[in-house]
Amino acid sequence: MQFLTRIPVPGVADFSPVDLSRSAAWFPVVGLIVGALVALVTFALGLRSHLLAGAVGVLAWVWLTGAMHLDGLADLSDALGASHRDSQRFLAVLADPHVGTFGIVSIVLVLMLKATALALLPPEVLWGVPLILAWARLGTLAWSRWLPPLKPGHGERFSWQLSKGWVVFWTVSLLVASVVVAPVLCVAPLIIGAWGLWLKARLGGVTGDCLGAGVEVTETALLLLIALL
């Protein structure tokens, strides 16, 4: 909770990188909690205005997560945009703390899509939102176990103490929950796999920014699917 959200929790004494890696197994639980809060805000405001509910629901979503994954999406977009003719520039641009045009546009588009999709969800479908956030955070576990790190950072730290058993456990658990709540979310493993395949083919590995961007891509794709279908 301390790493992935802005929700106040007791601090961890004598923190070590191993603790962060071990905590990764519980990332889907954090997704369920944040998603439940977003669903509650959207449901409450939806009783008066669906448009307002979608906008404020996304606002709550961004505040609770501290825009952490949006930052990864922006950095990856800038790096891809700047290195389309020179692959050697990719990591240099990725490490640049400034946000460029590609990053800004990617954030705006994702927030627009999320707000629109939330506004379209009927009340009984809103309870699929916690599962969407849980699936997206499960993706970080799968990608960090599957793909080699491109550089030192969170992309490699998550996999240090993470067993494949956790990935299997959460995949089965979320599939069962999705069948009950919103069967369309059962396509989540395909989206997670597709993002991993794209990272492997395009970049050859993963970084912390790639994980964050993958969370945003997975969330947006699943939210659009559940809103449309």
- 21, part of any domain: no
Among residues 110, 91, 103, 99, the alpha carbon closest in space to that of 203 is found at 91
Residue 77 is part of which domain span? 27-228
pLDDT in tens, 13-65: 777 777 777 888 999 999 999 999 999 999 999 989 999 999 999 999 999 99
pLDDT in tens, 78-89: 888 777 666 567
- 137, part of any domain: yes
Residues of the chain with pLDDT under 70: 84-88, 91-92, 96, 152-161
- 10, part of any domain: no
**Is 94:207 a contact under the CB 8 Å cutoff?**
yes
- Residue 66 has what pLDDT? 94
- 9, part of any domain: no
Average of per-residue pLDDT values in the chain: 89
- Residue 211 has what pLDDT? 94
- Residue 41 has what pLDDT? 96
DSSP 3-state assignment of 26? helix
Single pTM value for the model: 0.92
DSSP 3-state assignment of 62? helix
- 41, part of any domain: yes
In the chain, the number of structural domains is 1
